[in-house]
Amino acid sequence: MTVRSVFAAVDIGASSGRVILGRIKAADLSGAGTGVELEVVHRFSNGVVEIDGGLRWDFDALFEEVLEGLRAASTVAAAQGEQVASIGIDTWAVDYGLVNAAGKLTAQPFSYRDKRSRAAVGPVHRKLDPARLYATTGLQFLQFNTIYQLATEPALKGVQALLIPDLIAFLLTGQRRTEATNASTTGLFDAVAGEWATELFTALGLRKDLFPPLIQPGETVGTLLPEIASRVGLPASTSVVAVGSHDTASAVVAVPAQEEDFAYISSGTWSLVGLELRHPVLTQASREANFTNERGVDGTIRYLRNMGGLWLLSECQRTWAGEGYRRDLQALLQDAGALPAGGPRINPDDSYFIAPDNMPERIRAAVHHTGELLPDDPAAITRCIMDSLAAGYARAISAAERLAERTVDVVHVVGGGSQNQLLCQLTADATGRRVVAGPVEATALGNVLVQARAAGQVTGGLPELRALVAGGHELRVFTPELSTL
């Protein structure tokens, strides 16, 4: 009997992580894949922790969860007569751990929500003019981009910086690489050449080997270290395959687009709103609109804006729960949906909302600042967040079309936000376009698809991978309600 190969996707977001088994469903024994099946085998929570007054990730705990998840993956696969062929890892971007010559992490990695990098922006820009930085990297200015975080490091001698998914891959395999889609979020990556921008390292006095060499999605990082293999119960020949290790890059792989020109919104903690392009847009107008040119899988460009996202709501829910308010999300969204359109809005990408702490008050304060009033009522605040996000999405999509000289008539919403019907309908209304919502698990699907292609279980480029997602998942369509436009 042949043992079926399945794939383990490690997918960690800012608030939770999962290890998922992915199976390609074949039409017949020899046939091409018809879809992807996901089975979550381990879930865990994540969040920033305060250590010595700074906001960090508890990486050691996360890594233990990854090991536990891989152990579960191996057990579940074996029970079904399957073999885990490879492991792919994706997480949020920009953050890194420093590893010394002995391969040890020198401290728990800082979170991008820590405010220390804000003070580094000025000094970095004095060495490198922001216009020059954009012309090379095409990266949206965000105060937490890796380039600013690195400028706060007291000592980089004798250490290497590994982005979070690369750090996990290193601890699993002993191999140090920097996966390219995530490298493109550092602010040290050349958007046109698709290589490290070595002149930027020189200008900032950073060693050129501060990060390990690049690796592309689909390439093999290495195989499991023997002690890891025995801890998780997988053969030491199991490989770790680079996927779009930036979660957004994996999510964009699994946008179920059937048309060539489409917009996407990867809607989760953040909202990543934009287009897929062949070439970066590095114009002054693009810089002023703060659009980013991040790398996608297969050398594509993720031309998008990183906007505030459902973090605004989850942080409010956290505060309300602390105050004893218990209304579940669906009920809250229903109440919010029943309120009239045209209420107050905030700018969801204001850096004022990046840090945790009493979000409802901050939102109300931001509204009051514009001269309007927002009652201290969860439904009203929720509606304000939804209206603000939808309006922001519409603005970003129009700007992307103008800046990239493209037109789209469909907007794909993937990730957690695709389950939020109020947000999807308001997005259809605000953009005046058809919104196709789903899949919610786009990131894990993109992770699995890139591994499956590397293993030869699926073939083709992004359109073929997307067709598998479109055929195998339920999608909901929202059409603009003209009355609310």
Measured from the CB of residue 272, what is the shortest distance to ligand LFR in angstroms?
5
Kindly identify the residues of this chain, within the stretch 151-170, that bind ligand LFR according to CB under 6 A: none
Determine how β-strand 214-215 pairs with β-strand 178-179: parallel
Residue among 5 and 184 whose Cβ is closer to ligand LFR: 184
Q: Site for ligand LFR (CB under 6 A): which residue of 253, 272, 462, 468? A: 272
Asked if 96 interacts with ligand LFR (CB under 6 A), we say no
Site track for ligand LFR across 8-47, x = CB under 6 A: -----x----------------------------------
Q: Does 112 bind ligand LFR (CB under 6 A)?
A: yes
Window contacting ligand LFR (CB under 6 A); options: 227-235, 269-277, 372-380, 449-457: 269-277
Does residue 267 belong to the site contacting ligand LFR (CB under 6 A)? no
Binders of ligand LFR among 306-335, rule CB under 6 A?
306
Number of residues that bind ligand LFR (CB under 6 A): 13
386 scored as a contact of ligand LFR (CB under 6 A): no
Which of 7, 57, 59, 92 touches ligand LFR (CB under 6 A)?
A: 92
Does position 303 interact with ligand LFR (CB under 6 A)? The reply is no
CB of 268 to ligand LFR, least distance (A): 6
CB of 28 to ligand LFR, least distance (A): 37
Which structure tokens are listed for 396? Answer: 């970003």
Query: Residue 94 interacts with ligand LFR (CB under 6 A)?
Result: yes
The tokens 């020198």 sit on which residue?
A: 106
Between 165 and 256, whose beta carbon lies closer to ligand LFR? 165
Closest CA to 98 of 169, 145, 39, 155: 155
Report the residue from 269, 271, 382, 427 that binds ligand LFR according to the rule CB under 6 A.
Answer: 269
Instruction: Give me the least distance between CB of 369 and ligand LFR, in Å please.
Output: 25
CB of 418 to ligand LFR, least distance (A): 15
* Residues in 201-230 at the binding interface with ligand LFR, rule: CB under 6 A: none
Least separation in angstroms between CB 20 and ligand LFR: 16
If binding is defined by CB under 6 A, does position 247 make contact with ligand LFR?
Answer: yes
Report in angstroms how near the CB of residue 57 gets to ligand LFR at its nearest. 11
Q: For ligand LFR, which is the closer residue by CB, 160 or 271? A: 271
Stretch that binds ligand LFR, among 59-67, 267-275, 311-319, 340-348 (CB under 6 A): 267-275
| Using rule CB under 6 A, residue 248 touches ligand LFR | yes
Can you give the chain as a three-state secondary structure string? CCCEEEEEEEEECCCEEEEEEEEEEECCCCCCEEEEEEEEEEEEECCEEEECCEEEECHHHHHHHHHHHHHHHHHHHHHCCEEEEEEEEEECCCCEEEEECCCCECCCCECCCCHHHHHHHHHHHHHCCHHHHHHHHCCCCCCCCHHHHHCCCCCCCCEEEEEHHHHHHHHHHCCCCEEHHHHCCCCCEECCCCEECHHHHHHHCCCCCCCCCEECCCCEEEECCHHHHHHHCCCCCCEEECCCCEHHHHHHHCCCCCCCCCEEEEECCEEEEEEEECCCCCCHHHHHCCCEEEECHHHCEEEEEEEECCHHHHHHHHHHHHCCCCCCHHHHHHHHHHCCCCCCCCCCCCHHHCCCCCHHHHHHHHHHHCCCCCCCCHHHHHHHHHHHHHHHHHHHHHHHHHHHCCCCCEEEEECHHHHCHHHHHHHHHHHCCEEEECCCCHHHHHHHHHHHHHCCCCCCCHHHHHHHHHHHCCCEEECCCHHHC
Q: Which residues are catalytic?
A: 247
Compare residues 93 and 389 and give the one whose CB is closer to ligand LFR.
93
Residues that bind ligand LFR (CB under 6 A): 13, 92-94, 112, 246-248, 268-270, 272, 306
